[in-house]
């Protein structure tokens, strides 16, 4: 059975490509993590999947297309939890109003209380305005509102990025419990690879609008194939891990804000620590885009030398 | 904006940094060109509006101007003389042509060419508008800046309240009322200054003061607020953390930012001076565009009204242009938002 | 609305209220009371000066000027309100239209509004007065039309900013229609600023209408308003100045009333509150003698003025920093870690109050001297790096200027020598093409590049201490790695101590030798990195270490969490500030505050029941057993 299927999805703003031909599958009841740095297009992808921005390509849930012609019911089944809890709740509506707006049918008060219970909030907050709640409480209200739509698919876009660590833990635990309890299908988006690893069954890595690598979470992190993924994994701060201060050959002194290399070759080649600028004989990267080949494979990295590296290990 | 590749194991080569962002002389030239293009657009809107005005009037404007006593033949003759019987498109292009060549038509009332009347009136208006313009800047920048210094970080609460109070009061009184009050005191009461009209230097004093008081008050408020934001900015905190001496801290780090931030908001206020001249001139019977336009509107001398509105509008646009160009030179960042 | 109580609480509020009520009274009652006097003409007493019978004299027809001024309040104010309403209606419609029409329509409308906004309202009003004609009704529409561009622009800006909010997007995802969203979400959030703008514009409308009538283009005789009375009065100003001064005074009073009310209203709605600055504490020598540390902080506390009195973001912090040591200060938001850094750098500013038993740097007691006497030492030997490099570099100055300054000011180098030193420090932070970079401004650099420049600026002096406050929080992880490495390299090369402040204990643990954990303005634990990671002694540290998943966290198990939230800087507790959230807290914790006391030779903790230590652990176990 197919779950959430994203097929050749592209989004561009004024001629600049934000998401470039992304295909992705989230099996029903599973959690796929999407990781990338700022400007990688992960939030745009989320907005496109739920239909908040226009796109080319196809998005479907259990075989049913989720485009403009899909019914309201079908669209409601895919919901997004927003990143910024300060702007995701209307400052002039009480919590009761916010959750009530998302509920359809009667008995809203009773059901609102059940939802608050699910996100571990006191029903007393129903009468309060978002401004009087803490960040963690607001994010839990936002999750309760999302659940009120009775979604089957949940897209969580950087839901803990603006929270302190102890509050982040509360929200992560909550999302995980709800996912299991309700059997939700989740696309979990974050810049924090450690959080993505903790939450997800599978991981997809985005770089400049493209998915450069995907696979089972444990495998991708234990043995990243794409040089970009490897950089990300190595960059994750780890408790007590002292690092050599001299720069290794694989250190990238480039930033994700830089536009990718143009032309026909691999867009990552100008940053690549194992690419043609470092190693001789890798002219292939200058001429051929590895994505064309990667698309035919699954759970693979979009890199000409990923397999070569694996073979040489 | 891309960043240079700086892999330490590599020579720093391509991709070349495309740090355009309006930097350098070429950036300034591009900015000036874009800004002039926008000016042309605004001027076109202005010309179209003054042209359209006469056609939006209910009834026949010539009949309205000449009154009910004029015979139909006279009205028809004047209508033909003004070209109002031609097609709209035809009229529009001949009006455009006239504006470009300085031919703004003929006054219905006096039959004099509008450009002649304007030529006689413009110097009088500029002779009070320009000094007021300069004085507003000369007065409000130092006042606003020194107030920002004295009230920084919650200091000088009393000074702040007094400043807000005084500027609020000055600003609540419109320029023509200032003009009335000033002439009641200095002309009628103290008999220090000449009666109305242009009778040399001393008769400029009151119109200029009446014109500048309100704008100076509101601009010095804006300068204080913007300068305070600069003083509380993180880069000033960073400069303080480097223990720079007073001179560098305020003159080098703060002042340029304060001035550009203040200028950004000053276009509206300075261009408001042009509207102010219309009222103030009427108080002092000043022989400028302002007294002319109110008479022309009342006597329904539409070609003259068109001409004066065109000139006043162009003056407003010129002030905006000037402010933007000064900003563009002082602050390269201000050029970016122009595209 | 509670916020409007400001109208009866503050002197300007009361003044505005009194003036407005007075004007309102005149609008309602003046024509009834003084209407007769204003209309009765008596040529026998024309153009008289002020007298007992006619306080402001009479006009050319012998009518009482004061009566006429009072009666004219109604027409002046009512026309102004109508004009504002007309302008608001047209403007809001235009603005809303541009939100509804497509991208092209919005752009065209936006450009048109832009051009119109360039012209002063009075010029537009004259333009429209020509079209609409003279008289009261025409001038209402003329002034209204001249206000429309302002309203349109505000509506456009507000609608655009709110349309981007996530709650609007959330409502769309729930399948709510455009009308529902506009009614339930857009309107309530747009209406308040629009109402404020409209209220303030009534004042502008009074003045513009008066101006128009004064020019003879507004209200026409026999009807009259203040502007028209002023025009008539002005012609007699040499004979009877009171005829002009009467209406002028009325316009002044109305202008002041509206301006005052607008300011009070804007203050109330913005929720701005003025706070009284604290009186500075006089410089006093430290009560304890100094040790050998580069930096010594004893019982540091910071008080800041707040609306309700005084808040204490830093309550009690003590630590030492040895030369070339790297110390990390870790805490969540509200822990006071950034304020601590500012206090060390003497940058709290005069509105706050810094107290400490001792705050010394390089052997000098900073609080014993007036701040300006420490400037040379701090400028030369202490450098600070801030969270957002884009904000920390001056946008108006070239990178080179900012780099040279510390060397010129504090090392006494001339311009050329300082430039050489600046270039060297830029190179040391791995920035290529140094000469070109020195000529650039900060907006021409990327985020990571800016932060490297900030570090370079810090290195151009001769720093013995680098304070870095969340230097990588605004940057991507791969850039974070580089910046941290640079900090460590710089510290080792220049023999500089580093104080790294971060919310991320993992980041700090990779870079620092020792970690100080802060909570609610207290230093709660201070230990070498290895010891802290192996056996955290404070219950808060224990949670902090485990709460954030890392690459080794067991994926199936829930993360440890804390209930409640950090006590704010306004909260006063007699016991331990962590006790309300602590699973181990008992009566003693709630009533008696634990001091930051040595646990062993290298560790200090502020807890009555530290974890992971043999003896107290047994005690705690006993207590838990006893409590069951």
What confidence tens digit (pLDDT) does each residue in B111-154 have? Answer: 889 999 999 999 999 999 999 999 999 999 999 999 999 988 77
Between chains, do B235 and C120 touch, taking CB under 8 Å as contact?
Answer: no
Report residue C290's pLDDT band, with 50, 70 and 90 as the boundaries.
low
Are residues C334 and C467 located together in one domain of the fold?
Answer: yes
Are residues B229 and B247 located together in one domain of the fold?
Answer: yes
Are residues C241 and C324 located together in one domain of the fold?
Answer: no
Task: Tell me which residue in C548, C551, C562 faces A197 most closely, judged by beta carbons.
Answer: C551
- Does residue B226 belong to any structural domain of this protein? yes
Are residues C206 and C313 located together in one domain of the fold?
Answer: no
- Does residue C311 belong to any structural domain of this protein? yes
pLDDT, one tens digit per residue, over C58-73 is 887 778 889 899 989 9
Q: Could you tell me the CA-to-CA distances from B36 to B156, B325, C426 in Å, in that order? A: 44, 10, 39
Are residues C376 and C306 located together in one domain of the fold?
Answer: yes
Between chains, do C565 and A136 touch, taking CB under 8 Å as contact?
Answer: yes
The residues, any chain, with a CB within 8 Å of residue A106's CB and separated by 6 or more, are: none
- Does residue B225 belong to any structural domain of this protein? yes
Whether residue C221 is predicted with pLDDT greater than 70 in this model: the reply is yes
Mean pLDDT along residues C513-538: 95
Are residues C69 and C130 located together in one domain of the fold?
Answer: yes
The residues, any chain, with a CB within 8 Å of residue A227's CB and separated by 6 or more, are: A250, A268, A272, A273, A274, A275, A303
Mean pLDDT along residues C209-219: 91
Specify the pTM: 0.84
Contact yes or no for A129/A94 (Cβ under 8 A): yes
**Rounded CA gap, B51 and B172, in Å?**
35
Show the domain range for B170. Answer: 117-298
Whether residue C47 is predicted with pLDDT greater than 90 in this model: the reply is no
Between chains, do B153 and C350 touch, taking CB under 8 Å as contact?
Answer: yes
Show the domain range for C304. Answer: 289-519
Share of chain C above pLDDT 90, in %: 44
Are residues C387 and C465 located together in one domain of the fold?
Answer: yes
Task: Tell me which residue in B237, B241, B297 faces C126 most closely, judged by beta carbons.
Answer: B297
Are residues B274 and B239 located together in one domain of the fold?
Answer: yes
Whether residue A103 is predicted with pLDDT greater than 70 in this model: the reply is yes
Least confident segment among C97-106, C150-159, C174-183, C478-487 = C97-106
**Paired residues of C470 in beta bridges:** none
Q: What is the CATH number of the domain that holds C293?
A: 3.40.50.300
Tell me if chain C has a CB within 8 Å of the CB of B235: yes
- Does residue B214 belong to any structural domain of this protein? yes
**A185 phi, psi to nearest 5 deg:** -100, 125
Between chains, do A52 and C173 touch, taking CB under 8 Å as contact?
Answer: yes
Helices (H), chain B: 24-56, 61-66, 72-81, 88-101, 114-150, 157-172, 175-182, 202-231, 234-241, 246-247, 255-284, 289-298, 302-330
**Paired residues of C360 in beta bridges:** C296, C365
Q: Are strands C326-330 and C514-519 parallel, antiparallel or unpaired?
A: parallel
pLDDT, one tens digit per residue, over C239-270 is 888 888 999 999 999 999 998 888 888 877 76
Residue B321 is predicted with a pLDDT of 93
Whether residue C334 is predicted with pLDDT greater than 50 in this model: the reply is yes
Are residues B135 and B280 located together in one domain of the fold?
Answer: yes
Residue A278 is predicted with a pLDDT of 66
- Does residue C615 belong to any structural domain of this protein? no
Are residues B245 and B332 located together in one domain of the fold?
Answer: no
Contact list, A256 vs chain C (CB under 8 Å): 476, 478-479
Secondary structure (DSSP) of C195-222 = HHHHHHHHHHHHHHHHHHHHTTSSS-TT
Contact yes or no for B260/B252 (Cβ under 8 A): no
Report residue B317's pLDDT band, with 50, 70 and 90 as the boundaries.
very high
Mean pLDDT along residues C143-169: 89
Residue C343 C-alpha, separation from nearest chain B C-alpha, in angstroms: 11
Residue A250 is predicted with a pLDDT of 38
pLDDT, one tens digit per residue, over B6-19 is 222 222 222 323 33
Are residues B178 and B88 located together in one domain of the fold?
Answer: no
- Does residue C8 belong to any structural domain of this protein? no
Contact yes or no for B103/B116 (Cβ under 8 A): no
Are residues B294 and B307 located together in one domain of the fold?
Answer: no
Residue A291 C-alpha, separation from nearest chain B C-alpha, in angstroms: 22
Least confident segment among B23-37, B277-291, C155-169, C488-502 = B23-37
Q: Which residue of C has its CA nearest to A254?
A: C479
Mean pLDDT along residues B324-330: 88
Mean pLDDT along residues B66-81: 80
Contact list, C427 vs chain B (CB under 8 Å): none
Report residue B313's pLDDT band, with 50, 70 and 90 as the boundaries.
very high
Q: Is the peptide bond before B2 cis (omega within 30 degrees of 0)?
A: no
Contact list, B50 vs chain C (CB under 8 Å): 127
Which of A261, A257, A281 is CA-nearest to residue A272? A261
Find the helix or strand (DSSP H, E) in which A190 lies.
strand A185-190
Contact yes or no for C192/C103 (Cβ under 8 A): no
Are residues B249 and B307 located together in one domain of the fold?
Answer: no
Are residues B170 and B40 located together in one domain of the fold?
Answer: no
Q: Could you say which DSSP state residue C583 is in?
A: T
Between chains, do B15 and A270 touch, taking CB under 8 Å as contact?
Answer: yes
Whether residue A200 is predicted with pLDDT greater than 60 in this model: the reply is yes
Between chains, do B278 and C252 touch, taking CB under 8 Å as contact?
Answer: no
B contact residues 258-277, partner C, Cβ 8 Å cutoff: 260, 267, 271-272, 274-276
Contact list, C215 vs chain B (CB under 8 Å): 278-279, 282, 294, 297
pLDDT, one tens digit per residue, over B244-276 is 998 999 999 999 999 888 888 888 888 889 999
**Paired residues of C200 in beta bridges:** none
Chosen from A258, A275, A282, A286 to mutate, greatest number of chain B CBs within 10 A: A258
Are residues C334 and C196 located together in one domain of the fold?
Answer: no
Residue C583, number of CB atoms within 10 A of its CB: 11
Whether residue A98 is predicted with pLDDT greater than 60 in this model: the reply is yes
Task: Tell me which residue in B2, B9, B10 faces A258 most closely, judged by beta carbons.
Answer: B2
**Rounded CA gap, B14 and C522, in Å?**
50
Are residues C166 and C232 located together in one domain of the fold?
Answer: yes
Contact list, A254 vs chain B (CB under 8 Å): 3, 5-7
Are residues C221 and C116 located together in one domain of the fold?
Answer: yes
Are residues C244 and C98 located together in one domain of the fold?
Answer: yes
Joined together, the tokens standing for residue A64 give 């049913």
Are residues C417 and C304 located together in one domain of the fold?
Answer: yes
Q: Could you say which DSSP state residue A41 is in?
A: S
- Does residue C45 belong to any structural domain of this protein? no
Mean pLDDT along residues C401-413: 93
Q: Could you say which DSSP state residue C183 is in?
A: I
- Does residue B4 belong to any structural domain of this protein? no
Q: What is the mean pLDDT of chain A?
A: 83
Mean pLDDT along residues C597-623: 75
Joined together, the tokens standing for residue A244 give 């050599």
Residue C289 is predicted with a pLDDT of 57
Structural domains of chain C, count: 2
Contact list, B312 vs chain C (CB under 8 Å): 123
- Does residue B313 belong to any structural domain of this protein? yes
- Does residue B7 belong to any structural domain of this protein? no
Tell me if chain B has a CB within 8 Å of the CB of C250: no
Q: Could you tell me the CA-to-CA distances from B177 to C68, C105, C216, C226 in Å, in that order? A: 18, 42, 15, 11
Mean pLDDT along residues C122-141: 91
Joined together, the tokens standing for residue A204 give 């997809």
**Rounded CA gap, B99 and B45, in Å?**
13
**Rounded CA gap, B242 and C625, in Å?**
56
- Does residue C605 belong to any structural domain of this protein? no
Mean pLDDT along residues C621-626: 47
Tell me if chain C has a CB within 8 Å of the CB of B233: yes
Task: Tell me which residue in A253, A259, A273 faces B6 most closely, judged by beta carbons.
Answer: A253
Greater pLDDT, A63 or A313: A63
C contact residues 433-452, partner B, Cβ 8 Å cutoff: 433, 440-441, 443-446, 448-449
Are residues B105 and B125 located together in one domain of the fold?
Answer: no
Contact list, A267 vs chain B (CB under 8 Å): none
Residue C548 is predicted with a pLDDT of 87
Chosen from C127, C130, C261 to mutate, greatest number of chain B CBs within 10 A: C130
Mean pLDDT along residues B170-180: 91
Are residues B123 and B259 located together in one domain of the fold?
Answer: yes
- Does residue B48 belong to any structural domain of this protein? yes
Residue B186 is predicted with a pLDDT of 87
Report residue C482's pLDDT band, with 50, 70 and 90 as the boundaries.
confident
- Does residue C158 belong to any structural domain of this protein? yes
Q: What is the CATH number of the domain that holds C63?
A: 1.10.3720.10
Whether residue C295 is predicted with pLDDT greater than 90 in this model: the reply is yes
Mean pLDDT along residues C608-616: 77
**Rounded CA gap, A170 and A120, in Å?**
10
> Which of C501, C519, C537 lies at the terminal end of a domain, its last residue?
C519
Structural domains of chain B, count: 2
Secondary structure (DSSP) of A253-273 = ---TTSPPP-SSS-TTTTT-T
**Rounded CA gap, B135 and C585, in Å?**
69
Are residues B203 and B286 located together in one domain of the fold?
Answer: yes
- Does residue C405 belong to any structural domain of this protein? yes
Joined together, the tokens standing for residue C46 give 């024309």
**Rounded CA gap, C333 and C470, in Å?**
12
- Does residue C103 belong to any structural domain of this protein? yes
Most confidently predicted of B161-175, C231-245, C509-523: C509-523
Residue C625 is predicted with a pLDDT of 47
Q: What is the CATH number of the domain that holds B255?
A: 1.10.3720.10
Are residues B143 and B189 located together in one domain of the fold?
Answer: yes
């Amino acid at each position: 059975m197919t779950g959430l299927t994203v097929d050749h999805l592209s989004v561009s703003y004024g001629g600049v490509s934000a998401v470039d031909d992304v295909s992705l599958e989230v099996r029903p009841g599973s959690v796929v993590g999407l990781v990338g740095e700022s400007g990688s297009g992960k939030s745009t992808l989320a907005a496109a999947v739920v239909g908040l921005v226009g796109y080319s390509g196809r998005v479907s849930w259990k075989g049913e297309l989720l485009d403009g012609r899909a019914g309201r019911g079908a669209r409601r089944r895919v919901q997004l939890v927003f990143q910024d809890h300060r702007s995701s709740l209307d400052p002039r509506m009480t919590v009761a109003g916010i959750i009530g707006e998302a509920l359809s049918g009667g008995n809203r008060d009773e059901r609102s209380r059940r939802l608050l219970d699910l996100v571990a909030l006191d029903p007393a907050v129903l009468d309060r305005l978002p401004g009087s709640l803490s960040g963690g409480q607001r994010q839990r209200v936002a999750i309760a509102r999302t659940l009120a739509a009775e979604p089957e698919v949940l897209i969580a876009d950087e839901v803990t990025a603006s929270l302190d660590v102890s509050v982040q833990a509360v929200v992560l635990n909550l999302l995980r419990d709800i996912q299991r309890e309700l059997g939700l299908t989740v696309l979990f988006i974050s810049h924090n690879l450690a959080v993505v690893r903790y939450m997800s069954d599978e991981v997809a890595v985005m770089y400049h609008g493209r998915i450069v690598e995907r696979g089972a979470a444990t495998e991708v992190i234990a043995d990243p194939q794409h040089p970009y993924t490897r950089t990300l994994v190595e960059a994750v701060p780890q408790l007590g891990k002292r690092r050599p201060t001299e720069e290794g050959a694989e250190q990238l002194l480039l930033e994700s804000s830089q536009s990718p290399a143009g032309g026909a070759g691999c867009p990552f080649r100008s940053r690549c620590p194992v690419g043609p600028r470092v190693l001789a004989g890798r002219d292939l990267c200058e001429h051929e885009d590895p994505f064309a080949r990667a698309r035919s494979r699954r759970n693979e990295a979009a890199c000409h030398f990923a397999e070569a590296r694996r073979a040489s290990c | 904006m891309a960043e240079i590749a700086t892999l330490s194991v590599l020579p720093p080569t391509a991709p070349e940094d495309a740090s355009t962002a309006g930097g350098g002389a070429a950036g300034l030239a591009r900015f000036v060109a874009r800004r002039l293009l926008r000016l042309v657009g605004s001027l076109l809107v202005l010309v179209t509006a003054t042209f359209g005005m006469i056609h939006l009037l209910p009834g026949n404007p010539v009949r309205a101007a000449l009154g009910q006593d004029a015979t139909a033949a006279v009205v028809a003759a004047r209508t033909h003389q003004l070209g109002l019987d031609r097609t709209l498109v035809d009229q529009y292009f001949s009006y455009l042509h006239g504006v470009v060549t300085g031919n703004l038509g003929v006054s219905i009332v006096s039959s004099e060419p509008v450009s002649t009347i304007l030529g006689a009136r413009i110097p009088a208006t500029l002779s009070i508008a320009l000094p007021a313009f300069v004085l507003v800047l000369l007065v409000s920048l130092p006042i606003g800046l020194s107030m920002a210094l004295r009230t920084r970080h919650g200091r000088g609460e009393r000074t702040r309240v007094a400043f807000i109070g005084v500027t609020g009061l000055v600003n609540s009184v419109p320029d023509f009322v200032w003009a009335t009050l000033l002439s009641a005191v200095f002309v009628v009461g103290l008999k220090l200054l000449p009666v109305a009209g242009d009778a040399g230097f001393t008769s400029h004093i009151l119109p200029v003061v009446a014109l500048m008081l309100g704008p100076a008050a509101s601009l010095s408020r804006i300068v204080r607020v913007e300068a305070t934001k600069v003083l509380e900015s993180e880069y000033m905190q960073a400069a303080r953390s480097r223990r720079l001496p007073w001179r560098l801290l305020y003159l080098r780090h703060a002042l340029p930012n304060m001035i550009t931030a203040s200028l950004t908001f000053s276009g509206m206020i300075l261009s408001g001076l042009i509207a102010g001249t219309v009222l103030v001139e009427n108080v002092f019977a000043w022989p400028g565009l302002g007294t002319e336009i109110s008479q022309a509107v009342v006597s329904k001398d539409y070609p003259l009204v068109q001409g004066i509105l065109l000139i006043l509008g162009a003056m407003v646009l010129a002030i905006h242009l000037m402010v933007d160009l000064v900003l563009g030179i002082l602050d390269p960042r201000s050029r970016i938002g122009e595209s | 609305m509670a916020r409007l109580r400001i109208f009866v609480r503050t002197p300007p509020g009361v003044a505005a209220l009194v003036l407005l009520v007075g004007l309102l009274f005149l609008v309602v009652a003046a024509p009834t009371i003084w209407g007769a006097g204003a209309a009765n003409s008596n040529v026998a007493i024309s153009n008289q000066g002020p007298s007992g019978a006619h306080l402001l004299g009479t006009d050319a027809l012998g009518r009482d000027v004061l009566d006429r001024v009072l009666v004219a309040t109604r027409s002046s104010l009512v026309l102004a309100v109508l004009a504002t309403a007309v302008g608001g209606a047209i403007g809001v419609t235009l603005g809303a239209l541009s939100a509804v029409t497509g991208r092209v329509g919005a752009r065209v409308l936006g450009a048109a509004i832009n051009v119109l906004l360039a012209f002063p309202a009075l010029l537009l009003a004259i333009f429209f007065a020509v079209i609409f004609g003279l008289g009261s009704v025409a001038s209402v529409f003329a002034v209204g039309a001249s206000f429309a561009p302002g309203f349109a622009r505000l509506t456009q800006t507000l609608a655009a900013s709110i349309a981007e909010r996530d709650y609007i997007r959330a409502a769309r995802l729930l399948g709510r229609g455009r009308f529902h969203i506009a009614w339930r979400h857009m309107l309530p959030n747009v209406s308040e600023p629009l109402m404020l703008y409209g209220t303030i514009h009534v004042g502008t409308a009074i003045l513009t209408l008066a101006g128009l009538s004064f020019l003879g283009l507004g209200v026409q005789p026999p009807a009259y308003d203040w502007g028209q009375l002023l025009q008539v009065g002005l012609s007699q100003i040499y004979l009877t100045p009171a005829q002009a001064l009467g209406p002028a005074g009325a316009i002044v009073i109305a202008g002041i009333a509206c301006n005052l009310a607008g300011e009070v209203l804007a203050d109330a709605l913005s929720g701005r509150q003025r706070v009284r600055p604290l009186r500075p504490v006089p410089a006093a020598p430290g009560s304890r003698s100094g040790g050998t540390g580069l930096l010594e902080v004893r019982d540091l506390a910071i008080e800041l003025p707040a609306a309700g009195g005084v808040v204490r973001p830093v309550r009690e912090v003590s630590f030492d920093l040895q030369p070339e040591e790297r110390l990390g200060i870790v805490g969540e938001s509200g822990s006071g870690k950034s304020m601590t850094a500012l206090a060390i750098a003497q940058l709290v500013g005069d509105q706050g109050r810094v107290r400490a038993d001792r705050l010394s740097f390089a052997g000098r007691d900073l609080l014993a001297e007036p701040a300006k006497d420490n400037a040379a030492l701090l400028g030369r030997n202490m450098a600070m790096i801030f969270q957002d490099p884009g904000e920390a570099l001056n946008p108006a100055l070239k990178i080179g200027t900012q780099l040279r300054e510390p060397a010129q000011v504090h090392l006494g180098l001339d311009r050329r020598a300082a430039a050489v030193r600046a270039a060297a420090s830029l190179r040391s932070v791995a920035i290529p093409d140094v000469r070109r970079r020195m000529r650039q401004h900060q907006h021409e650099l990327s985020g990571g590049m800016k932060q490297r420049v900030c570090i370079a600026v810090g290195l151009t002096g001769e720093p013995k201490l680098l304070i870095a406050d969340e230097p990588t929080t605004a940057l991507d992880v791969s850039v974070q790695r580089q910046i941290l490495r640079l900090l460590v390299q710089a510290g080792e090369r220049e023999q500089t101590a580093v104080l790294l402040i971060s919310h991320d204990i993992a980041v700090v643990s990779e870079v620092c030798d020792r970690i100080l954990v802060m909570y609610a303005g207290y230093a709660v634990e201070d230990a070498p990195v290895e010891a802290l990671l192996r056996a955290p002694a404070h219950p808060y540290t224990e949670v902090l270490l485990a709460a954030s998943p890392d690459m080794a966290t067991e994926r199936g198990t829930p993360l440890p969490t804390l209930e409640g939230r950090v006590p704010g800087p306004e909260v006063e507790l007699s016991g331990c500030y962590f006790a309300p959230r602590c699973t181990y807290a008992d009566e003693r914790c709630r009533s008696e505050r634990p001091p930051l006391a040595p646990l062993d030779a290298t560790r200090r903790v502020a807890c009555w029941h530290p974890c992971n230590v043999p003896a107290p652990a047994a005690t705690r176990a006993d207590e838990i057993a006893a409590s069951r």
